[in-house]
Amino acid sequence: MANVVVVGAQWGDEGKGKIVDWLSERADVIARFQGGHNAGHTLVIGNTVYKLSLLPSGIVRAGKISVIGNGVVLDPWHLVSEIAKLREQGVEISPENLLIAENAPLILPLHGELDRARESQASVAKIGTTGRGIGPAYEDKVGRRAIRVADLADDATLELRVDRALVHHDALRRGLGMEPVNREELLAKLREIAPQVLPYAAPVWKVLTEARRAGKRILFEGAQGALLDIDFGTYPYVTSSNVIAGQAATGTGIGPGAIGFVLGIVKAYTTRVGEGPFPAELHDADGQRLGERGHEFGTVTGRKRRCGWFDAVLVRQTCATSGVSGIALTKLDVLDGFETLKICVGYDLDGKTLDHLPIAADQQARCTPIYEEMEGWSESTAGARSWNELPAAAIKYVRRIEELIQCPVALLSTSPERDDTILVTDPFAD
């Protein structure tokens, strides 16, 4: 069986939740491989809306195993809260259907405090983080001072890990004018939450390896988008982890040979939350219209998203770095009614035409979009479930996107409803 990796191919908010849910019905295991509870996935199933941040999208489906891999930074208090909210909506969650990697690092209260303190420093340019401690938790992971899920099971180890972390954090806090961490209070909180987290702890790498050998279908789910990747995103306005498809292997402990199909989720236009470059951003009535029709507000933060025309340069770039096999094009219906549509096909940098976004921040800021115009359509595409239901101009728009990004459309989504999807290529097919 082909195993599938789902990645966002823009700046996040591409509609991954719906697509992952649509695919998870046919998967046996759904594994989250990076990020934290700064992610936001909205699932609409029937008349019920589920809002997920940390848990894999497959958790709302009975008979599936959901996995949180070691590439995720885990806020244990948020985990318990999110589980409780889903249980209130009738979702059954137990160690039978939710597994958490024993080596997943924890997000502690001190991480969120540090995150927010840094962002509040008026003399430093803001990155635009969610303030939830994601970045500081990843820093502790690579600094070898993280507290991991398995550490909660042994009090002596837990105290050693906390002491090591506080040597670093108390020094940082003094420099920011913050009070030192209350060691005993932190230990008490960890001891209290441990019994609620440890039942889910498992050697995830082993579970996934056995599932693969048994011929199970595995769906690997990422968070954010490839343009927020720590290496290949618009640095420093990025997330703190690798978002591209290669992280699915290291973030779960399964070999790269297990990946059969990479599905890139792409919105039919472009949005971005927070700070950072955005060459195709619109500050006019068209941008306002896209935001209003697309309900462009962050699932986690509630922040209004910046909107712009489809940027084929960026998506072609992310399809290359993630090795995307095919894209799922979402929110096509938001473009209904536009007389003219534009697609960014290149950048002008000081009179020179570029076919990619440069790495240097000053050059990114000076890039202006080169647009290609296309005829829009007046008919509705909302809810279409076959090519025959789409206007000719909409099909032409989709085909032009395929040409420009050098990658085929595998799925086409025409509304938030999971069944309003046109299947072109089955990602799970051998």
Integer Rg of the chain from CA: 22
- List the strands of the sheet with 326-330, edge to edge: 201-202, 98-101, 65-68, 29-32, 218-221, 3-8, 259-267, 326-330, 409-413, 421-423
Write down the catalytic residue from 13, 75, 151, 420: 13
Q: Are 427 and 261 in contact (CB under 8 A)?
A: yes
> What share of residues in the chain are helix, strand, coil (percent, to 5)?
35, 20, 40
Q: Is the dihedral of CA 88, 91, 97, 100 positive or negative?
A: negative
CA distances from 18 to 5, 227, 231 (A): 14, 20, 27
- Residue in the block written with tokens 């509630």: 302
- List, in order, residues 6 or more apart from 265 with CB less than 8 Å away: 6, 7, 8, 9, 14, 15, 16, 19, 327, 328, 330
Q: Find the catalytic residue in 21, 37, 41, 115.
A: 41
Is 170 designated active site?
no
Alpha helical stretches, state H, 294-423: 312-322, 361-366, 392-405
Tokens at 413, concatenated: 């989504």
**At a CB cut-off of 8 Å and minimum separation 6, what does 423 contact?**
410, 411
Question: Is residue 116 a contact partner of residue 51, using CB atoms and an 8 Å limit?
Answer: no
Q: Tell me if residue 41 is catalytic.
A: yes
Establish how many alpha carbons lie within 13 A of residue 423's alpha carbon, considering only the half-sphere containing its beta carbon.
10
Q: Which of 337, 421, 335 is nearest to 386 (CA)?
A: 421
**Cis status, amide bond into 236, omega within 30 of 0:** yes
Classify residue 385 as left (phi > 0), alpha (psi -120 to 50) or beta.
alpha
Cα distance between residue 188 and residue 190, in whole Å: 5
Catalytic site positions: 13, 41
